[in-house]
Amino acid sequence: MRCPFCGNTDSQVKDSRPAEDHAAIRRRRSCPACGGRFTTYERVQLRDLTVIKKNGRREDFDRDKLARSIRIALQKRPIEPERVDQMISGIVRRLESLGETDIPSEAIGQIVMESLARIDTVAYVRFASVYKNFQEADDFEDFVAELRPPAAED
């Protein structure tokens, strides 16, 4: 695994343990060249998914992008990070089990809303209010861009 700090192509695994209720393996790594430390996750990927955007463009499904938009919606909400990771894994499992490898971006937004509604009402409302505009937005990227972190309230 390439070091994100110095680009060295070698890194050493310092620690490996189960995470996300055994759905993932978390590895602490360190770079022998610069001493940088970072974490990687290993997860089962049942299928390679493709997102079909509203304008018909296709792009590889990106779990990190999905996770980013969900974390922004949940910002400052009293939800355990572990629970958020489990929810994200659950969403990805649902997408993988749809039986299709091509998934419309609207379908992803819908599943995210359903999942957020179960976990936190405020985050759901944040996400849903942006989702309305998303109907007009032409891709998931725009959607994520609109989900900016809320301004500090206190």
The residues of the shown chain that bind Zn ion, judged by CB under 5 A, are: 3, 5-6, 8, 31, 33-34, 36
73 near 64, Cβ under 8 Å?
no
C-beta closer to Zn ion: residue 10 or 114 = 10
What's the CA gap between 17 and 131, in Å, rounded? 36
C-beta closer to Zn ion: residue 3 or 111 = 3
CB of 32 to Zn ion, least distance (A): 8
113 near 100, Cβ under 8 Å?
no
C-beta closer to Zn ion: residue 3 or 123 = 3
115 near 87, Cβ under 8 Å?
yes
Q: What are the Cα distances from residue 92, in Å, to 10, 19, 62, 118?
A: 29, 16, 10, 16
CB of 35 to Zn ion, least distance (A): 7
C-beta closer to Zn ion: residue 31 or 52 = 31
CB of 131 to Zn ion, least distance (A): 40
Which residues partner with 34 through β-bridges?
none
CB of 34 to Zn ion, least distance (A): 3
Tokens 């959607």 correspond to what residue?
143
